[in-house]
Structure 1
Amino acid sequence: MRVYISADMEGITGLVDAEDVQPPGRDYERGRVMMTEDVNAAIRGAYAAGATSVLVNDAHGPMRNLLPELLDPRAALIKGRPKAFGMIEGLTAEYDAALCVGFHSRAGVLGVLSHSFMGHEIEDMWLDDQLVGEIGMLHAAAASLGVPVALLTGDDTACAEMTAWDDRVSTVAVKHARDRFAAQLVPVPEARAAIESTTAVALGRIPSVPTPAERRTLTVRWQSASVPAHLIAIPGVERRDDRTVVVEGVMLDLYRLFCLYLRVATAVTTNPPYC
């Protein structure tokens, strides 16, 4: 059994603030250790369930967060950026299951460090007519490859968001949101034990892949009108209004195109996330 792990940071055990998840935040180095240990718990669970290989993609921000010297040596690691497929770099149809470790809820939800890909630059996103964030985008892209998502860890709002997309996916809430930068934390040993045990159980009952739509529509509403002004230079991308772009296509192509959106938006804007 081949297992793929996409590792984000905002939904990691114990982390609640930008200082925890962004360099050069005063607690960022500690956050890197916490992230690595949550991923290690998932790796242990995967191998307990019979995994033959595990690939981990460092999917947060600079994508240089996980500490290789502390990572379980049985897992391979993709680190750094740019990556054509961003948070799903390295995921192929050869994998039997995908795990989402340390994920957060979408923009507009009162979850810990909630946002959609770019802090406050993205106001809302829709996949067809459904509001979507990083969780839904990954789930849809994995499904288009024929890979089921088996597990998500994060705060309770992230878990609820995944359940709304697919209630067969196992979830582990490692904290409970009190506000966007505040949470009631699950004790660290308890959270790690839950990640490990739930991973093992989830991989023993991997859900079937939902039949993906042949073509889908991605709509993104930005805070800044300058971003759509640049994105419409991409063939197929249309501007619905000054701040909204829409494009139609095959899901995997849309995901890769959206990763290009992010690079364009980063070049156009200079606003830090979580403002």
Structure 2
Amino acid sequence: MRIYISVDMEGVTGLVDAEDVQPGGRDYERGRAMMAEDVNAAVRGALTAGACDILVNDAHGPMRNLYPEHLHPAARLVRGRPKRMGMLEGLTGEYDAALCVGYHSRAGALGVLSHSFMGHEIEDMWLDGRPVGEIGLAHATAAALGVPVAALTGDDAACAEMTDWDASVATVPVKYAHDRFAAELRPEAESRKAIEETVTNSLSSLPPSPPAPATLSTLTVRWQSASVAAILPGIPGVTTTDSRTVRATGRLPDLYRQFGVWMRVAASLTNQPPYC
């Protein structure tokens, strides 16, 4: 069994603030250690379920948060950027399941460190008219590759978002949001045990691989800055629906990859910290 793990940071056990997850933050080094412990719990759970090949993609911010020497030796690591598929770099249809570790809820949700990909620069996103963030877009892209998402870990808001998107995905709440930068924390040992056990159980009873969608998908993004929406239609297939909103239609995962280009364009036009 081959398992793919995409690990973000905002939804990791014990982390609640930008200082925990941003390079240079006063608690960032502690956050990196906590991130490694959560992903290692998922790796142990996958091994218990019979995984023989595990690929971990460091999917947060600079994408070099995990120290390779802190990662479980049974897992391989994709580290650094740029990556053509960003948070899903390395995922192919050859994997039997995907795991989302340390994920967070979408922009506008009252979840810990909630946002969609680019802090407050992205105000809203929709996939085929359905509100979406990192969770839903990762799930839809994995499904397009024929890979089921077996489990997700994060705060209770992220877990609820995943359940709303696909109730068959097992979830592990590692903290309970009181606000965007405050949460009731689950004890570390309890959290890691829950991650490990949930991953084992979810991989031991995998659903059938999802059929690849036969139809095209439409991704719509509303930006904070009108300048981003003004520039992006220079990319073939991108159109505007108003002064701050663009959309494009295509097949996943190609559309996911194109969205990565949109973000690089937006980053070149704006220079905003992600958690203002």
Same fold (TM over 0.5): yes
> 1:237 aligned to 2:238?
yes
Q: Deviations over 1:220-256 (max 9, x none)?
A: 0000001111111100000111100010000111100
| Residue 128 (structure 1) aligned with residue 118 (structure 2) | no
TM-score normalised by length of structure 1: 0.99
Contact map agreement 2:36 2:66 (CA 8 A) in 1 = yes
Is the Cα–Cα contact under 8 Å of residues 44 and 196 in structure 2 kept in the other structure? yes
Q: Which residue of 2 aligns with 1:265?
A: 266
The aligned length equals 275
TM-score, normalised on structure 2? Answer: 0.99
Unaligned residue ranges in structure 1 (runs of 5+): none
Deviations 1:48-81 (A, max 9, x none): 0000110000000000101111110110000000
Q: Decide whether the 8 Å contact of 2:147 with 2:210 is kept in 1.
A: no
Question: What is the match of residue 98 of structure 1?
Answer: 98
The ranges of structure 1 where at least 4 consecutive aligned residues each deviate by more than 4 angstroms after the TM superposition are none
For 2:258, give the aligned amino acid.
L
Q: Matches of residues 1-275 of structure 1 in structure 2 within 5 Å?
A: 1-211=1-211, 212-275=213-276
SS at match of 1:73: coil
- How many angstroms does 1:162 deviate by? 0.4
The answer on whether the counterparts of 1:169 and 1:207 sit within 8 Å (CA) in structure 2 is no
Q: Distance between the aligned counterparts of 1:82 and 1:55, measured in 2?
A: 18
**What is the CA–CA distance in structure 1 between the aligned matches of 2:78 and 2:113, rounded to whole Å?**
24
Q: Give the letter aligned to residue 200 of structure 1.
A: T
Q: CA deviation at 1:205?
A: 1.0
Q: Give ranges in structure 2 of 5+ residues lacking alignment.
A: none
Q: CA RMSD in A?
A: 0.7
Alpha-carbon contact 1:222-1:243 (below 8 Å) kept:
yes
Cα deviation 1:1-39 (Å, max 9, x = unaligned): 000000000000000000000010000000000000100
Sequence identity of aligned pairs in percent? Answer: 69
Q: Work out the CA distance in 1 between the residues paired with 2:237 and 2:59.
A: 27
Contact 1:223–1:243, Cα closer than 8 Å, also in 2? yes
Q: Which amino acid in structure 2 is aligned with residue 10 of structure 1?
A: E
Assess if the C-alpha contact under 8 Å between 1:170 and 1:202 holds in 2: yes
Q: Which moved more, 1:176-185 or 1:66-75?
A: 66-75
State the Cα distance separating 1:209 from its structure 2 match. Answer: 3.7
CA distance in 2: counterparts of 1:206 and 1:256, whole angstroms = 27
